[in-house]
Amino acid sequence: MSDSPDSSRKINTHTFQLKKQRGERLTMLTAYDYPMARAVDLAGIDSILVGDSLGMVVLGYDNTLPVTMDEMLHHCRAVSRGASRALLIGDMPFMSYQVCVEDAVRNAGRFLQESGMDAVKLEGGKERIPAIMAILEAGIPVLGHLGLTPQSIHKLGGFKAQGKTAEAALSLLDDALSLEEAGCFSIVLEAVPSRVASYISQKLKIPTIGIGAGNECDGQVLVTHDLLGLFDKFTPKFVKQYSVLHQEINKALKNYQEEVIQGEFPTSEHSFIISDQEWETFLDQVGDS
């Protein structure tokens, strides 16, 4: 079978490796429901991450820590119904893999068995190697995640860039090499200085996916709600808003409200009609002719 690009072919982890070898940039976006997954898939994006960021942009939590396995699986199922081409990755939530290896494997398996994902993502470096290797041994591809790891915000002291000192950069490189050796098919680098991310990307044989990590990673990922301007609470420094749909939605909702109040909606164009004959028959039967 040819390995040439095919816009209709299902993306898999092998595709990630081929694109790295060819120097082709990878694209990844988040989705949390059927319509967004369908839109992202139709746009030709390589991979959809059902991120635990849904806790903040969909469920209204202050951070990702309250997100549960049941919530993740619910949204993953919706996404898998909406996307057929993109590589689908389920984000393992807080405490679904930290307690023990057995939990990690069991929960990773649920993403594939119960919600149609193709792979899972989990945060952390060398301390996660036993869980990663056990998940891989079960036949489940793993996407690593280094740098700013939101599930560790209390340990990190908040949403802060990582790897800004020589010592921290060395630690990131060491973790990245360890994740590659363990068998991760790719690694997300979040909120990492661009020179550090570029160096790590050059040293790895597997692709890096940057988010706030500069332009020299092998691919990029953003939260789609941020990219589209759907989430209005805050916009991270590394986000480019390609649209501001929150404002457009707000405008549309206010227009709807005004037209209802003024009696301008619905019009006959948006209403159903009963024929004059049937209406007369109705009035006769109710004695109101």
User: Is-cis flag, bond preceding 266, omega within 30?
Assistant: yes
- Asked if residue 224 lies in contact with residue 31, where contact means CB atoms within 8 angstroms, the answer is yes
Residue of 71, 123, 180, 190 marked catalytic = 190
Angle of CA points 241, 247, 250, to nearest 5°:
150
Secondary structure of the chain in HEC code, one letter for each residue = CCCCCCCCCCCCHHHHHHHHHHCCCEEEEECCCHHHHHHHHHCCCCEEEECCCHHHHCCCCCCCCCCCHHHHHHHHHHHHHHCCCCEEEEECCCCCCCCCHHHHHHHHHHHHHCCCCCEEECCECHHHHHHHHHHHHCCCCEEEEEECCHHHHHHHCCCCCCCCCHHHHHHHHHHHHHHHHHCCCEEEEECCCHHHHHHHHHHCCCCEEEECCCCCCCEEEECHHHHCCCCCCCCCCCCCCCCCHHHHHHHHHHHHHHHHHCCCCCCHHHCCCCCHHHHHHHHHHHCCC
Active site residue 269: no
Q: What are the catalytic residues?
A: 190
